[in-house]
A and B are shown apart, each in its own frame.
Chain A
Amino acid sequence: MKKTMHVLLVILLAFMVKSQSISAKEMTSLPLLGVGATVQEEQNGEFLIKTEGLKAGEGFVSTPKDLESKNILFQMEAKGSDVVILKIEETDARGKFLKEKELEVPLTGTWSLKQLDLILESESSQIDVLVLTKEKKKTEFSVRNVSVTGQ
């Protein structure tokens, strides 16, 4: 019995490690690129985004690949002091704009999970996920565990 428990524990640990590595892979495979902003990688997989404040719509963009699903979920944890806009933009394989979805979310000083989903027109589409400021303002916000997954 003890031996069986030991085997189960090893399997469980292995599964947890694998889950973590998948999550880590999602994060590292999603480079966050500044849009009128700098993106600074901090410790513990956190990213600090500092906007220039030259216009509204500054933040970061990322382009996940190989989602192999029409139902996608964009999620992350974020903290800050202003309202930001989560956005998913779909273009076809030739770059033609198809559709987009936005969600306004207020940020606070504590980490909170933010999510936005979208049903794509086609599995072969290209996807951009963005987090942008709502107003023209020089500001900072942090994100971690940014992921886009096919459901």
Chain B
Amino acid sequence: MYEFSQIELKEQDGQIIAIVHMDTHTNSLLTEFSTEFGKENDTLQHSAKGFVKKQFPGLKIARVLVVSGAMILANFPSLRTSAHEVTFNMSYLYFGNTNSYISQVDKTQGNLSQVSPSYFDLNADGSLKISSQFDQAFVTQMHARGIKVVPFLSNHWDRTLGRQALSNREKLSSQIADFIVKNNLDGVQVDIENVTDIDREAYTDLVRLLREKLPANKEISVAVAANPNGWTKGWHGSYDYKELAKYASYLMIMAYDESYTGGPQGPVASYSWVERSIQYSLNQGVASEKIVLGVPFYGRYWKEGEATGGAGISNNRVDEMLAKYGGTVTYDEKSQSPKATITIKPGDPTMTIAGNTLTAGTYHIWYENHESIKAKLQLIHKYNLKGSGSWSLGQESSSIWQSYRTWLAHDGQVEVSTVNETQPKEQTGSTAPSSAVTHIVQSGETLWKVATAYKMTVDELKAWNQLTTDSIFIGQALKVNGLQTESTNQQPISSQPAANTPGAVSAPVPTTPAPAPAPAPKPAVAPPRAPAPVVAVPAKKYPTLRMGSSGSAVTDMQNKLKKAGIYKGSVHGKYDTSTRNAVIAFQKKYQLKADGVAGPATLSKLDAVIAPTKVATVSKPATTSVKKYPTLRSGSKGAAVVDMQNKLKKNGVYRGNSHGVYDAATRNGVIAFQKKYKLKADGIAGPATLSKLDAVIK
């Protein structure tokens, strides 16, 4: 077994390279390198991969280099790249009131899973002051939408007030915990800013106290200063990332204000600055799944000829200014940030931004648009982060919400190949071999998993698909060797998938047997060699319906919801509140994510539920009924968790109560189980783990 001293993360061509340093003094180098690292390279690779995995669990590492001093001892690809889907999105609520907040939330089209209103302020003595914004009705409204409400605790940049809070942390933490429980809030985000390194330990201790006093099902998170330069003093030194992450559900990196009021002109959050902030967090030892990337919904403006500038402006006000005065927008490729230059001429109508009336002159505005936000969200996939946060809701251009989910769901690659293509690929110049079938990437799959499933090598799979990297994304259509599979018509999900098989996916999948693949359209010209591609996963393509959707797809869904006994309203083809409520009820009933948005998982489940019982005249061999497993992880709760806890108890790996909350003890039980059965010991109970659990306790 080899020992390594440290890991550096570097980026190369958009991929993360892990450079593992090996201390030659603690490893046997008496043998010549050629012997040691030639014959036993697999062992070295195994050790290095294990070390990287331990230090950066969940992080997509494209390649691992093992070095000793200036010598490269080994260089090999890491095949841990897997499809990454983000479901956690939070946003702060700061400007407005209950009514405007609800309106702002509803404009997000179901993209948010959590909101953080400014409810927790501080009295001069550091005790809790509930802000006038608090409104129980808002909490109820959000919960009805399936959105958690986690207020943030703020000192509003007042250093002395922040220190008073830290000095008074014992009492303050009790007050916060009591208020959260009494008012059915979902946790607290600590956002004490502008204290310094002298307060570092007290800061961590406040978070520890909150974790101690809040029930396990309540969140404690921390908004931390972005620290791309690794500063240890001043404000940046007040955050002990690693220690905070021990107690917090996640750290929200405030990856904005790179440029600020009074500072020089520039982007609010340039791409490299944001990326280095993420890398700093990871290098501090924070697990990637505990990092939420904060993105700005605002920009800053500087007026030509004025000594200082940098006042804030909402992205949507920039759009307004451009519409009102015209101007130019350039996209700075280096920083991945847009810059608008707008001239207000004397006599033009005025405009007021945050109380300041803009006078005639030329304004340079660095802000955020679709392109820059999308670029930042891709970093969430690149580093397998938990999700996104945004400051603050209502400042964005509302049109971003049309794309937000797609950016986060598919590694930002929106051009997902459709399964039912109008033309076979071969006709359009594809170089895919004639035996190719299409495999749609599921959550949790890797190139290795897919390749193994189709009896291919990773290199073959990459070559067939002209992939230059190991990155794949959920929903991606991969050409695979259909001749090597047992059956291309079969649902590739087994009822009890073994670990590391294509069936061992970690995301919900439709439970119905795959419908017969849509027949390939007849090409105008016969394909040169091959039959048309055959799909290996369900071919029916479902739309995503949500509040505001209308048309025949909604009519169809309403009819089915009626048949399922969930929806009592009229079938009018409009996705209104009662339709949404019915969808939520359906999702809850079938343990789907109850977000009120009817996407493929919900609609396919609906199809399955109302489908008539299959008659026995099916000529093909009957397939094993497919059991659908959810993915449970820390923070999950409900009947599925109770069921799992009961089974873990039976298996002897869990000794706690079956209380239905996926807490630390449950996670440890899951890890113990996974280790016991040689599953990936990540503490997340996905289909592989749950099916194995079912199998072993029977």
Contacts and interface: CB of A to CB of B under 8 A. Distances in A.
B260 A94 contact: yes
Contacts of A63: 159-160, 163
A95 B163 contact: no
Interface string B243-272: 000000000000001001111000000000
Query: For the complex, would chain B's binding face be called helix, strand, loop or mixed by DSSP majority?
Result: helix
B662 interface: no
Nearest to A54: B201
A36 B257 CA distance: 31
Interface in A80-139: 89, 91, 93-98, 100, 124, 126, 128, 130
Chain B contact residues (Cβ within 8 angstroms of A): what range?
A: 20 to 34
B163 A61 contact: yes
A94 B257 contact: yes
Among A31, A33, A93, max chain B CB count under 10 A is at A33
Contact of A91 (B163, B196, B261, B262): B196
25 contacts: A31-B160, A31-B164, A33-B163, A33-B164, A33-B167, A35-B199, A36-B201, A61-B163, A63-B159, A91-B235, A93-B261, A93-B262, A94-B235, A94-B260, A95-B196, A95-B234, A95-B235, A97-B231, A97-B233, A97-B234, A97-B237, A100-B233, A128-B159, A128-B196, A130-B198
Contacts, number: 58
Contacts of B193: 95
B160 A124 contact: no
A96 B231 contact: yes
Nearest to B157: A95
A87 to B, nearest CB: 9
Interface residues of A, number: 21
Contact of B167 (A34, A97, A128, A130): A34
Interface of B: 159-160, 163-164, 167, 193-194, 196-199, 201, 225, 231, 233-237, 257, 260-263
Nearest to B167: A33
Nearest to A38: B167
Contacts of A33: 160, 163-164, 167
A108 B412 CA distance: 66
A29 B80 CA distance: 57
B391 to A, nearest CB: 15
B155 to A, nearest CB: 12
A50 to B, nearest CB: 14
B236 A96 contact: yes
Contacts of A57: 198
Given A95-B194, A97-B235, 7 more contacts: A35-B198, A61-B198, A91-B234, A94-B260, A95-B193, A96-B234, A128-B198
Nearest to B201: A36
Nearest to A91: B234
A91 B198 CA distance: 13
B156 to A, nearest CB: 13
Contacts of B263: 94
Contact of A89 (B163, B196, B236): B196
